[in-house]
Amino acid sequence: MKSDKRSYYINQLIAHLQENETEPEDFQLGLELEHLLVKKSDCSSVTFQEEQGIADLFEILTGKGWKACEKSGNQILCLVKGEDEINLEPGGQIEFSFGPKNNIAEIKRCYLDICRDILPVLKKLDYSLINLGYHPVTRIKEIPLLPKDRYRQMYHHFKSRGRFAHNMMKGTASTQVSVDYQNPADFDKKLKVASWLTPIFYAIFDNSPIFEGRREDKWVLRFRIWAQCDHDRCGILPGIFDREFYSYRDYAGYIIDLPAIYNPEKKKEYLGEISFAKLYQKLGRTELQPEDFEHMLSFAFNDVRAKEYLEIRMADSLPYPLFFGYLALIKGIFYQKENLNYYYDKIKDINRDSILQTFDKISERGIETCYLEDKTLKKWGEDLIFRARKGLDKDENLRQLTNLENYLARTIPPRKRFSGKEISFDSLKYADLETGLGCELADEIKLS
């Protein structure tokens, strides 16, 4: 049995993926939206440990019905209310994470509920949540790492993996959308179509006008950071376009061979290049537990990854309400069979190298970079919106998609709204959550 443990674990991972198959009538959407918490006076970072910092903010929120779901000592690292969470990324980025929802209107309702709780507190402190792909002022060397074993081990592991690995951890913020899959064929289609979309989504939803305190002249900073992070577990899935059919077994084999980084049972034990298969064999695991699956699958950081769903991870953190339009776009493509099949047929002859060649040009040309069929990334974005409209049948979905279309017609990508060379709160007002909400919650976030 010992020599065959890898295959044994792979079969259990396959069973886990099978257990999470979902029938189309039960498909749901998930959203994780990261924000940067800054001081309005100078846009510098609000850190975890400082007086009136994030730790204090989280403590205040426990008085509004939020419960601690993870702690470091007495300090709260994660809050939960119902199915929704407020999490912290390694540099103190604040993530709103929504459990699977039936529609965009439900996600919006939950999002506004969080805003009702958190924005009055931030207003009193003169802080702001902003939606940008990278921190506008504070350099990463000045941002303390969150006191969490997982992040400490990742930080240590990544330091020799890529020049921007620590920038990824402490400086970036993103918009991540999750979609369900029905069966192995649907898994294959959605993984491939989403992987093909990587340069389009990176370019169209580029919202990183600043890098390490300076105006960023090149495009798609998020892609360039992830490309210099850790080749083992980032970027486009290896082999995704090499196989006519990318199976659960292919993905399970990829995951089980990844370096595990650290031992979840001895969180201070760094493992280096030891794979998950060797780790669980060392721990004497016969049956993998739910927490083992969660641990393994969360350590792949590809542009598109599988957990209990498929997660699409290319977009920068987008301003309110643009991310709802992004949700509608993804829903209209991935949950409409005709649209999914249309793009799947389009990309049957594409390969990973051709996508990487597109990325070789994208930092200079941005949305004007040519892609499949010699169409620019901008044109492909317009095509996606046009087809997504056919796949949406709810007024709220269509309204959000129309908002996205109108926004991008004026400003594509979103970072173009950054005004002037001087970095100030006024020059970044388009990314400020309270500004984006406008009058929707105005009365509720006034100072008492």
For residue 91, give every residue at least 6 positions away whose Cβ sits within 8 Å of its Cβ, in sequence order, or none.
Answer: 45, 135, 140, 143, 145, 146, 169, 170, 171
User: What pLDDT shows up at residue 442?
Assistant: 59
> In percent, how much of the chain has pLDDT > 70?
97
CB 13 within 8 A of CB 252: yes
At 1, the pLDDT band (50, 70, 90 cuts) reads very low
At 2, the pLDDT band (50, 70, 90 cuts) reads very low
At 180, the pLDDT band (50, 70, 90 cuts) reads very high
Could you give the C-alpha distances from 259 to 49, 154, 231, 281, in angstroms and in order?
31, 11, 11, 14
> In percent, how much of the chain has pLDDT > 90?
87
At 4, the pLDDT band (50, 70, 90 cuts) reads confident
CB 408 within 8 A of CB 204: yes
What average pLDDT does range 382-390 have in this prediction?
Answer: 96
pLDDT digits (tens, 9 = 90+) for 249-281: 999 999 999 999 999 999 889 998 999 999 999
User: What pLDDT shows up at residue 393?
Assistant: 77
Structure tokens at 445: 């976030």
pLDDT of 148 over the 90 cut: yes
Q: How many Å apart are CA 327 and CA 318, to the nearest integer?
A: 11
pLDDT digits (tens, 9 = 90+) for 197-212: 999 999 999 999 999 9
Structure tokens at 6: 């890898």
For residue 151, give every residue at least 6 positions away whose Cβ sits within 8 Å of its Cβ, in sequence order, or none.
Answer: 90, 145, 169
At 447, the pLDDT band (50, 70, 90 cuts) reads very low
- Domain 2-438 is in which class? alpha beta
CB 48 within 8 A of CB 146: yes
